[in-house]
Amino acid sequence: MKTIDLVVQIGSMALVQREDGAIDYNIFQRLGDDLRPGMVLVTSGATEIGRLDYLHRAGHELHGDPEQVKTDYAAQGQIVLMDNYRKFVHPEYGVRQVLVEHTHFNDPVKREHIRKLLLRAAQQECIPIINYNDPVSDEETRKMELTSRRGKGERVVECVDNDETAAVIASLVNAGTLVMLTGTEGIYLHRDDPSTLVKDLVCPDLETLRAKVAELMTHCNGASRSGAGGAKAKLSFALRAVEHGSRVVIGHARHHVAALVDGSVPCTHIGLQGK
């Protein structure tokens, strides 16, 4: 029976050409060509791609309440995002969109429902593509629910950041590897200096790894865009995935997934020795 051994996550800014303000179709083509049944893709990008699509069609950006603007862009961007993945994934494979919210992972019944859906997709030669359901997510309602659950002593996940969603999914399906695709070659000691790339963060035990990740986080400041957690958040969620049995690879989206996994291109590997 085919299982899921690889979860791939890609961030918003890895899907666009920032200097041109345009969708990077080369990234979609490369990633689409790499995807196979037995993999799960966790994708960001709906909001930013929706913004670019609206700007291209209307000639101007939306104005008004920031949360409503984000909602409107995300709703428009979802269809563009999925259309591009469908265009470049091998035609013999099915593509299945799975829109999730935090509540799906904080409820055991809903969590198990998603786990079974993902495993069936692997067996049915289909590729699940997961994104947080921004168009219907209300921040105030979400915070109230999470506060209530925390008040009951529950450990909750928020999953608004797709780095966290990817770590949760990797844990849910017991994936051996989580690949996080970004706009950099991995984690740098100094944010704008690729020569400071940390290639290996592989330790004999979790205690040592936690200490090394905490030390590395002190070098990580800032993010590529407003509202993003940056390298510090990415490291935090990567560590969570390792704690649940995965190894993590962080690297540039211009590289093929297989090259990142085998370490033949520059990237950051995080995990435990022997895994």
Query: 110-122: per-residue pLDDT in tens?
Result: 999 999 999 999 9
Q: For residue 79, is it within any domain? A: yes
Same domain, 40 and 158: yes
Domain count, the chain: 2
Domain with 14, as residue range(s), is 6-175
Same domain, 243 and 131: no
Same domain, 118 and 150: yes
Residues whose CB is less than 8 angstroms from the CB of residue 224 and which lie 6 or more positions away in sequence, other chains included: 11, 13, 183, 230
Q: For residue 184, is it within any domain? A: no
Same domain, 104 and 204: no
DSSP code at position 187: -
Tell me the pLDDT band of 141, cut-offs 50, 70 and 90: low
Same domain, 205 and 83: no
Which of residues 33 and 230 earns the better pLDDT score?
33
pLDDT score of 227: 43
Same domain, 121 and 224: no
> Among the listed ranges 8-17, 145-154, 171-180, which one has the minimum average pLDDT value?
145-154
Same domain, 134 and 166: yes
Q: What is the pLDDT of residues 32-53, one digit of tens each?
A: 999 999 999 999 999 999 999 9
Same domain, 145 and 225: no
Question: CA nearest 127: which of 14, 23, 17, 42?
Answer: 42
Same domain, 216 and 169: no
Q: For residue 1, is it within any domain? A: no
Listed residues 124, 140, 175: the one ending a domain: 175
Which of residues 192 and 46 earns the better pLDDT score?
46
Same domain, 113 and 225: no
pLDDT score of 133: 85
Q: What is the pLDDT of residues 71-99, one digit of tens each?
A: 999 999 999 999 999 999 999 999 999 99
pLDDT score of 224: 45
Same domain, 152 and 105: yes
Same domain, 95 and 212: no
- Is the confidence at residue 274, as pLDDT, over 70? yes
Which of residues 36 and 151 earns the better pLDDT score?
36
d(CA 114, CA 171): 12
Q: For residue 30, is it within any domain? A: yes
Q: Give start and end residues of each alpha helix (H) in 64-196.
A: 66-88, 103-106, 108-123, 139-151, 162-172
Listed residues 142, 175, 208: the one ending a domain: 175
- Is the confidence at residue 221, as pLDDT, over 70? no
Q: For residue 104, is it within any domain? A: yes
CATH code where residue 128 lies: 3.40.1160.10
Q: For residue 194, is it within any domain? A: no
Q: Answer yes or no: are the C-beta atoms of 216 and 187 closer than 8 Å.
A: yes
pLDDT score of 218: 84
Q: For residue 189, is it within any domain? A: no
